Structure formats: C-alpha cells, structure tokens
Amino acid sequence: MDGENARGGEAAARLSRGVALRDAVDVADPGAWLALDVGARRRLDVGELPTLEEIEGRRTLLAVIPRRRELTDARLALALCHHDGRVREAALHRAPGRPALLPLVVVRAADWAGQVCDRARELLREALDGETAVALAPVILAVGRRERGAFAAGLLGEVLRRGPLERLAPLLGSPDRATRRFVYRLAIEERLLSPAGLARAAAVDVDTVVQTLCADAALAAVSAESGEDVLEPLLTARNPRARSAGVTALRRAGRPELAVGFLADRSALVRACARYVVRRYGTDPRPWYRERCAVADDPALRPGAVVGLAECGERADAELLWPLLAHPAPGVRARAVAGLRLLDVSGEERLRPLLDDPAPGVVRETTLSLLPSAGRLPADWLRERLGDGWPRHTRVAALRLLGARGG
C-alpha cells in the first residue's frame, strides 16, 4: 500500500508541474486512480493544489489570482483529490464533458463528504452508458471494495444487464481479475453464456474463482443429452478444477466409463472425483490401482496411479509400493514415498538411501517421511551431506533433518 501511495504521490507531483493527465497517470490501471487520490493529499502542499477560487474561476477578496492557470484536466484531477470537500465538490461541477476525469468521479462517488458523494453519484448516473460502463468497470470495482463503493458497482451491474452479450465480451477477457469475476457472475445470473461457453471459460481462465464459477455453472447444465462441446473442454483442461468438474459431469451425462481414465490423474482432486464416479456405478477402484502398480519396472506406470493406490488403499498395499522406490521414473519414485507416508508405513532404513536420489522431488518427499524419525538417523551421516560436493536439494534435506533432531 505504501508503494501505491508513493506512486500516487509522484503522479500528483507531475500533475502539479503541468504534465498532462494521460502522461502523469497510468490511466488504464484502476489502482493508479486510487493511489492518486491518496497521494495528492499526502505528497503535495496546500499551495501546490488548486484553490476554490481557481476552480470556480472568481477573484479573491484581495487581488486577482496571479497568473491565472488554464483549468486543464490535470488541474481538475488534483482538485478532485483535494483535502477540502468544498474544492472537491466545486471540481465535480466542472467535470461534465471531461471523460478523462470519470475515473475520479467514480472515486468521489464513495466520498466521505455527503455533498461530494451525492454530486458524484448524480454525475456518474448521467454519464454511465454501455460504452463508459465497459471502460470504467475496473476502477468501479476497485472502488467497490471501499465502505461507500457499493453504489457504483450496483449501477455498473444495472447498465451491463441492459446490454447484449457482445458488450460484455471485452470484460470477459479483461486483464483485471476483479472485473472478470464480476462479469462472469453477472453473465451466469442472466444466463448469457451457453454451457459450452462456460466450459471453455473454466478451461482457459487463469483465475481459480472464475474457473470454479464457470465449471459449476457448466456442470449444472450437463445432462445425458449434453454433447462433446461441454465435456471435452472440461476434461482436457489444464487446471484441475475444470477437469474435476468434467469428471463429475460424466455421471450426469451417463458416461461413467470415461472416469476410469482419470483415476491416475496428476491432481488429487480429479482422482477423488474419478473414484467417486466409478464407485457410484459399482466399481471398486482399488483393484484397478493394484493391477497397475504390480509391475515394479513398468515404464508406462503413471505417478498418479501410485499415489492413487495409497489414497484409497490399505496398509497391506505397501507391499506394492516398496518396489517402486527403485522405478526408473522420478515421478513414480516420489509418489511411492508419498504413498507410503499416506498409508502410515514407516521404514527409515529403507527410505534413507533416497536422500541421495538425483531427483529433487524424490528427496523432498523422503525428507517429509523421515522428519518424524529424524532422531534415529546418524548425525554424522547427515552432516557429511552438508558438504559442497552434494547437490543443493540433498544439502537442504540434510539440514532440515539435522534441525528436526536438534542438531
């Protein structure tokens, strides 16, 4: 926050020196407007800010204002951030017809001074149409997190609901995360997106909230008649939230047999959903996992199958995991160690050699498994692995285990 305020103070200083608004403020960044609002009051002296007489364009009692300045957008922006509510209110009366100042009108619509707030809201209601709603959405939603910010956010929702889906399209791809969340919620509430569109959004958006919103909405729309245009984007998504929604949807779509292919998924969430679906149709996933883990050197064995066995298995299944500690694939070795830990099977003598494994992932999992029994590990053996000749991941593991044993 201090960094943001400092940025706002620098922008305010540039405005006071006559720099144009667009050159002084990153106008595309909603945070820049909030920072300017705070920074102008903290950074500038009263003499550097516009006066009430300047904004109103009148003479003082003593003299004509020396070297009357042009009332530019930059000067009005500073006035809209003034610590004196009378100046802020006067600036709002000069703001109509100046679209560059609308972000600060949004800020003032959450002002603590009643007259300033009321005037700003009046201006915002007059100015906010479909085009300006799209442009101002990020700053409106940033201000919406303030105590009095709900008005502008509510007004934004009203305007966007009245428009066609095409108006929302730029906001659905907005780089601002809060904007995408808001617009996707609105689109889902108004049923503006098809199930296939929701599925694609869940698959490609990088924000976990948007992924969940769209995946849940797409899942609710899936039926036995749903086509590949809904299931395919979910099942092939890179993010696990979308994949898990797709796997869960297989039950409603009447295609539970496809869930078997996700029992060895790299995500624990997806594996759990796959087990749920196959169990609902009378299949026990444990034998499936045991069959795949039975061949210790199978090059096709997937790490997800190894840890999946531990997630739904019993301690007796450790007999299949121990041989996998020597599997050629580092991912399988790491998941075998993790699986033994999930099954609450100990054996520091058999795990200890894996601290020298060339794969950092294997060493990390081994360290986690050995921490509870670190006191039984030879201290000299661990200290030897602190030397420069050992890989970094081995040195880190040895240091953690020495710390756990109090040395």
Residue 242 near residue 202, CB atoms below 8 Å:
yes
- The pair of structure tokens assigned to 168 is 């929302």
- The pair of structure tokens assigned to 269 is 């969430």
Instruction: Write down the pLDDT at residue 61.
Output: 46
Instruction: Write down the pLDDT at residue 6.
Output: 82
Q: Where are the domains of the chain?
A: 1-127, 193-283, 284-345, 356-407
- The pair of structure tokens assigned to 245 is 């929604």
Residue 223 near residue 252, CB atoms below 8 Å:
yes
For the beta carbon of residue 355, count every other beta carbon within 10 angstroms. 21
Fold of 193-283: Leucine-rich Repeat Variant (1.25.10)
**Total-model pTM:** 0.80
Give pLDDT < 70 ranges for the chain.
1-5, 58-69, 223-227, 407
Torsion 15-17-19-23 (CA) sign: negative
Instruction: Write down the pLDDT at residue 66.
Output: 45
Residue 88 near residue 77, CB atoms below 8 Å:
no
Instruction: Write down the pLDDT at residue 64.
Output: 44
Instruction: Write down the pLDDT at residue 2.
Output: 62
